[in-house]
Homo-oligomer: A and B are copies of this chain.
Amino acid sequence: VTPFREDLSPDPDRWMALCRWLLSTGCGLAVFGTNSEANSLSVSERRSLLEHGIANGLDPARMMPGTGSCALPDAVELGSVATRAGCAGVLMLPPFYYRNVDEDGLFAFFSETIQRVGDDRLRVYLYHIPKVSGVAINPHLVERLLKAYPETIAGMKDSDGDQASTERMIANFPGFDVFCGSDPFLLATMRAGGAGCIAATANVNSKAIVQLYREWTSENADAMQEDVTAFRRGVEAFPMIPALKAIVSIEASDPGWARTRPPLVQLTDEKISELATWLRERRFQMEGLSAVMAADQA
């Protein structure tokens, strides 16, 4: 999630603190995704934040920034910046203004982007989230892209929410890294041969999710998955993105963290209290967050 200052500009200090904490829990950083309000940021805001983070010590090898856009030049610019900075990969939404486009048009969009970035280090992860973007990345398109760019097309974030379809993607394309888009599917995805998950609640519940990822073959895996899923279901009682930011604000004792940028609306104080009560009941903690924040301020 992306924090904002009172004037609604992105806040690099708060952002760095959360990024450092997340890395310390063992997960990677899929910055500038749906939950990051990435499409509510200008290209230059995304670019500045990424460059600031890497210049200040975030390890690009553990980052997969979102670089998709409705506009080809924006996708090219963001993809180039991320690749030159050494990011492990980029997560690309399809262009999402026109809904009923031909597969040829989507292929051309990805293909032109890859050619214009023109960097062998580029690794593209396709971001399939049709319920939000309105534009699906179907298996036939994946097949064509893999055939044309076998080294570059590296994987997919499948946020369709249909685990059967995720498992078909894994089975159909060996060597193609399929991440499920939500942590309730993590264990099933690992058992099917998937690569992991890129999940909203990983912004706050990363320790439990990383543990499940690392120990998915252990006998406790199902119990760990149940716990991870229960946390997600609890957060889902609130609007997801404002709730994630509110959780950070509660854990960091920093009300400013709860801010969202329009068109999203931050949780009311009443809802934040309700969320805080629920977190206390679960004995939930973002352990170590305060230490990271204190170190940043020192």
Q: What residues make up the interface of A, taking CB atoms closer than 8 Å to B?
A: 8, 34, 39-43, 45, 70-74, 77, 94-99, 101-102, 104-106, 108-109, 112, 132-135, 261-265
Contact = CB atoms under 8 A, between A and B. Distances in A.
Contact of A262 (B40, B42, B112, B264): B112
B70 A45 contact: no
A39 B70 contact: yes
Smallest CB-CB A-B distances: 5 pairs? A105-B263, A108-B262, A109-B262, A39-B97, A39-B70
Contact of A71 (B40, B72, B96): B40
A223 B63 CA distance: 62
B41 A71 contact: yes
The complex is assembled from copies of this chain, and their number is 2
B97 A264 contact: no
A43 B40 contact: no
Nearest to A100: B239
B108 A265 contact: yes
Given A98-B132, A132-B99, A104 B43 contact: no
Given A42-B43, A264-B98, A72 B105 contact: no
Contacts of A101: 263-265
22 contacts: A8-B72, A8-B112, A39-B98, A40-B70, A40-B71, A40-B97, A41-B73, A42-B43, A42-B73, A45-B71, A45-B73, A72-B261, A97-B132, A98-B264, A99-B134, A101-B263, A102-B263, A105-B263, A106-B262, A108-B262, A109-B263, A135-B263
Contacts of A112: 8, 262
Nearest to A44: B73
A105 B41 CA distance: 15
Nearest to A110: B262
A66 to B, nearest CB: 11
Nearest to A260: B105
Contacts of A104: 265
Nearest to A46: B71
A298 B8 CA distance: 49
A144 to B, nearest CB: 14
B108 A72 contact: no
A125 B101 CA distance: 27
A42 to B, nearest CB: 4
A124 to B, nearest CB: 15
Nearest to A69: B42
A264 B261 CA distance: 30
A177 B96 CA distance: 29
B95 A263 contact: yes
Given A39-B71, A97-B39, A262 B105 contact: yes
A186 to B, nearest CB: 25
Contacts of A97: 34, 39-40, 96, 132-133
A262 B102 CA distance: 10
